[in-house]
Structure 1
Amino acid sequence: MSDTHSLLRHVPVPLFAAVMGLGGLSLAWRRAALVWDLPSWPWHILFGVTVAVFLLVAGAYLAKLIRHPDAVRADVTHPIRMAFVPTITISLLLLATGFSDIAPALARGLWWTGAVGHLVATLYVISSWFGRKDINRDTMTPAWLIPIVGNVVTPLAAPTVGNLELAWFSFGIGVIFWLGLWPMLLNRVLVHDNPLPTKLTPTIAIFLAPPSVIALSWQQLTGHLADPVGVILHAAAVFFALLLLSQVPRLVRLPFSLPILAYTFPVATVATVTVAMAGATGSGFHAALAVIALAAATGIVLGAVVRVAWGTVRGEVLVAE
């Protein structure tokens, strides 16, 4: 029993990134089914796995909250880990998006909980950045984009099960703060004297997510993707993907750590927006690019999640930081 209690204390909040990655991949395959008239079973299976992983991770983290509230408090107040706490509300928003066609009433409840909860989480995290002296350039990482990205996830299901006014409100917050944080985080990664800790190097993949999700939400809110705004955002997402690809020789040499989950949601969003762009433009080039992106995202997401699951079994995940 004491061993179980010890393991619960070390359940890491970034495990919710696995839900984000699987949820994002299921939505990429859902978009592919719509654009290319593919069978729906791949995305249904992936979404079912997403729900199962969410229930497992959420159950474990809830048990941690009940048994070790001090450890959860440490997550919420830690200068680096606090940025991962909004992965919980983003997971709810992605589940709402997936359930929007399957169980609208459930999706509506998930959407409102996730949307309002994420605004609260964003306010808390950003106010902490403003007010705490222990949060500085050395504790800044690309994970700072997580609370920002969640606000632009909100509109994805808003037209069907949410509220457009709240969706636009969240979208505006996400876009403005992304534009503000983006140059600061690039400076941190590219030229800052103190480099990112090796363990957090995979978080550079998070740069892919904002332009991808903003483009998808722009389409949901306006009905347009192949307009100048959508094309520019998609180009930025693809270019960041190419930059990440150029870093593969360095990234594959990194030792295993939980932040490999940072690859999952961003690559899934790039695949989704590229498939969506292929559908919006009818371009053969975009279609070919979408096939490559979807195949790569599928391999990366499933590979990372399986590796983390194996690492959990081997005792590499539920350990003290």
Structure 2
Amino acid sequence: MNTVFIPPLEAAQAKPASTPSIKNLPVNLFGSVMGLAGLGLAWRLAHQYFGVSPVIGEAIGLFAALVFVVLAAGYLVKVARHRQAVVSEFAHPIAGNFFGTIVIAILLLSVVAGPYDETLAQGLWTLGSVLTVALAGLVLSRLFKGRQDLQHAVPAWLIPGVATLDIAVTGGHMPMAWAAELNLFAMAVGAALALIFFTSIFPRLVHQEPLAKAMVPSLMILVAPFEVGFLAYANLFGIDRFAALLFYFGLFLAAVLGFKVFRRDVPFAPSWWAISFPLAALANAALKYAHVQGSPLLLVIAWSILLFLSVALAVLTWKTLGSLVRGKLLAG
């Protein structure tokens, strides 16, 4: 199969292990922060709506913050010692999109920090918003150079667009006078980018060669524009029938993709963290929608997604730590 589908990180999985080095720290590991923070916020909603102990959500959120600090420190060391490796990773037509996981993580952590320190939360959201808009503009500018290979149109393309939507998801309660307009701007940009990228990715997945196995988990990213779009729209305009359409299509897509993604023949790799944030967005959306509608069936669906996500992220965390201890995670 043409290896063009495989970012450097996943391609490395097939090579013999070498001495672990911070040079091999993959940027897509920041997806773990996105998923863990999203899971913590979902359990926070479960506390708010259904009286579940607040300890669960807050503990997961604080763990997500700790993981971010560790990864950020590690990646800064990589920048300092292996600048060219970072430049190459950013310039890669697929792996470069995963830099969006950093800015989304910052935006989500602003919500995690909200109950503890409002100033910190506002600072993180402002920083995350500026970086997100800059990244979206940079990625779009790069695509406008033309002659893009259709085989590079993979679900990871959606990350910068979804990141822009996350500004509106996390900024609904920001008190700054300019925050409301920024949220509208982000919603407009994110929705348009998600639509453009989705309509480019879908034909590639249908008409071109299947994704390499290491990239199969990234298929779940296709769910993110609809569920993150639901959360952003609900923050700005409330939950109406249009919001319901976004939620239900995302739910349908997650169910269909689940049979493609969760297979025994797809080996563990850090790329598996790609499932975490889309499913976390789905869990948050399902809890919000079930709470508004009050339907017993919707409540069962919401709780099923939340519990499945909790188990999945616990397994991914355990496997990632095991890979780190065995020296495989940072092996070239």
* CA distance in 2 between partners of 1:246 and 1:256 (Å): 17
1:138 aligns with 151
Alignment of 1:151-170 (within 5 A): 151-161=164-174, 163-170=179-186
Query: Over residues 54-78 of structure 1, what are the superposed CA-to-partner deviations in whole Å (9 max), with x where a residue is unaligned?
Result: 0000000011111111111111111
The reply on whether 1:259 has 2:253 as its aligned counterpart is no
Contact 2:34 2:101 in 1 (8 A): yes
* CA distance in 2 between partners of 1:65 and 1:293 (Å): 37
Contact 1:100 1:157 in 2 (8 A): no
The 3-state SS of whatever aligns with 2:78 is: helix
Alignment of 1:19-168 (within 5 A): 19-131=33-145, 133=147, 135-161=148-174, 163-168=179-184
Per-residue deviation, 1:318: 1.2
Q: Which amino acid aligns with 2:199?
A: P
Q: Which amino acid aligns with 1:164?
A: A
Q: Which amino acid aligns with 1:210?
A: P
The reply on whether 1:237 has 2:253 as its aligned counterpart is no
2:221 to 206, 209, 232: 206
Gaps of 5+ in 1: none
Q: Which amino acid aligns with 1:168?
A: L
Counting matched residue pairs gives 312
Provide the aligned C-alpha RMSD in A. 1.7
Per-residue deviation, 1:101: 2.3
Query: Over residues 166-203 of structure 1, what are the superposed CA-to-partner deviations in whole Å (9 max), with x where a residue is unaligned?
Result: 111011111111112212212222221x3222211110
Comparing 31-40 with 55-64, greater Cα deviation is found at: 31-40
User: Under a length normalisation based on structure 1, what TM-score does the superposition of the two structures give?
Assistant: 0.93
1:313 aligns with 325
* CA distance in 2 between partners of 1:55 and 1:302 (Å): 19
Q: Which amino acid aligns with 1:208?
A: V
2:15 aligns with none
Alignment of 1:189-204 (within 5 A): 189-192=205-208, 194-204=209-219
Contact 1:263 1:301 in 2 (8 A): no
Q: Which amino acid aligns with 1:131?
A: K
Query: Over residues 235-291 of structure 1, what are the superposed CA-to-partner deviations in whole Å (9 max), with x where a residue is unaligned?
Result: 011101111222256x32112222101111111111110011011111111111111
* CA distance in 2 between partners of 1:160 and 1:273 (Å): 17
1:16 to 30, 34, 53: 30
Per-residue deviation, 1:309: 1.9
The reply on whether 1:284 has 2:296 as its aligned counterpart is yes
* CA distance in 1 between partners of 2:217 and 2:207 (Å): 17
* CA distance in 2 between partners of 1:272 and 1:36 (Å): 13
Gaps of 5+ in 2: 1-18
The 3-state SS of whatever aligns with 1:202 is: helix
Alignment of 1:269-280 (within 5 A): 269-280=281-292
User: Under a length normalisation based on structure 2, what TM-score does the superposition of the two structures give?
Assistant: 0.90
1:220 aligns with 235
Report 1 or 2 for greater relative contact order, CA contacts < 8 Å, sequence distance ≥ 6: 2
* CA distance in 1 between partners of 2:144 and 2:318 (Å): 37
Contact 1:264 1:304 in 2 (8 A): no
Q: Which amino acid aligns with 2:181?
A: E
Contact 2:30 2:101 in 1 (8 A): yes
1:178 to 194, 200, 209: 194
* CA distance in 2 between partners of 1:6 and 1:268 (Å): 31
1:247 to 241, 260, 267: 260
* Compared CA separation, residues 10 and 309, structure 1 to 2 (3 A): same
Q: Which amino acid aligns with 2:317?
A: V
2:16 aligns with none
Q: Which amino acid aligns with 1:151?
A: T
Percent identity between the aligned chains?
A: 29
* CA distance in 2 between partners of 1:243 and 1:123 (Å): 32
